[in-house]
Amino acid sequence: MTVKGRLAATLFALTLVGCSSGQTTALLNGEAPSSGGIRNEVINDPTLNNMGAFQVPVPAKWHFRGVLDQGAPCVGLASAVFRATSPDGLSFAEQMPMLGWSWGTGIAARAPRNNGCLPLKNAMSAQDFLKYLAATLNVEYVADNPVPAEMQAKAQKVLDDSALPYAAQYAARHQQPPKQTVQLAAAIVRYKNGTFQMKGRLGTSVNCTEIYTPGFRSMLRGVPDQPGWTNDSCRATIEYLAAPENQYDALLKQWDRPEMQVRGSLEWNRQVIDRQNRMAAMRDQQMNAQAAAQRQASANQFAHDQAVRQQMHEQFLATMQRGTDMSMARAAQVANTNHTIASDWVDYSLDRQTVLDPNTGQLSKVSSSASYTWIDSSGHTSFQTNDVNADPNGTLRGTWTRQQVVHGDGTQ
């Protein structure tokens, strides 16, 4: 296989990190045996009982450090991050953390960007991304290292095929499926390490997704119609090899062998996808439950308000009919009761409810569209659902406590 062919194969393997149907490179059932002076390092996933997620072949005498990066909000995928270093510390091969950026049109253009996004606001080719990356790494961009067109086409086909299982779901919801693209690119870079002239290769696969949301006609006078808008996001996987210039060819020969390809666990990949599907189903269920609750609340609004007013009137009449001594005691009771009712009324008017953390005593105001509320140990992040059996512990990150619904003023 030519150098460019080996490079293209490596980049093609990297594209599978960004596919919606999987998050690994070449997938194996179990570990491949070590051979030819190669040892296999395993990167574990602490969020799935520390199960093995990736297997990284490295030369037997090289140093290795690796971790599973769970992905920033701009990326949303877990990936292997590692660095292997030669015994003399000069040559290295690494897979960097995924990087992402996002932008949009219409109202999406005004939305705040997620933390962890690159400061990029538009589409960028994979080759241009490498130029941006080289400047960020403060290395000289020497030349493009073109990826064969057939490998580019094959990478796009893999991405298109990964979206086919979801096409029917979008059609059933009368939604336009996301547009997904992938580009492969590589470049030669150069920099100084002390007295050593270093030569390196940057490789990337850039996966981009565009989601279109239809606009709507306004039903309110003076409020303009809302045209459709798009949300765009890109994420890039990055491979970086570098060595002293007189050792660069030997480094490529060593690392571009087929047996040096990063491999991942099929079982880990299956469990990651299962977890994503469970979370998606919970979100869909929550959205449907919220819509039903809003419709029911609208239908019951007038009857509820009437009942509250009647209750307050009856309490007032009962207070007036008692004697002086009883009225003094009753006045305090009515004051407390009115405070509770008023707080409940305010909650209802704002479509809110008050929940109590049984462990900390913290009170929180949350949406009234869901029957059950969970709050994590930070006390700032909540999860709501109408499913009594839904439990985010073990599914979402952190420790979650089910909240108790109380009156608006915090009383039982």
Q: Which pLDDT score, from 0 to 100, does residue 237 have?
A: 93
- The 10 Å Cβ neighbour count of residue 358 is 11
Amino acid, single-letter form, for residue 102: S
pLDDT at 377 over 50: yes
List of residues 6+ apart from 317 with CB closer than 8 A: none
* 208: its two tokens: 């981009």
pLDDT at 8 over 70: no
Among 88, 84, 79, CA closest to 39: 84
pLDDT at 402 over 50: yes
Does residue 255 contact residue 58 with C-beta atoms inside 8 Å?
no
> Which among 111-125, 173-187, 217-231, 235-249 has the top mean pLDDT?
235-249
User: How far, in Å, CA of 88 to CA of 198, rounded?
Assistant: 14
Unique residue bearing structure tokens 């000289």: 140
pTM > 0.75: yes or no: no
What residue spans define the domains of the chain? 3-261, 284-406
Q: Is 193 helix (H, G, I), strand (E, B) or coil?
A: strand
Per-residue model confidence as pLDDT tens digits over 251-263? 999 999 989 999 9
Higher pLDDT, 220 or 145: 145
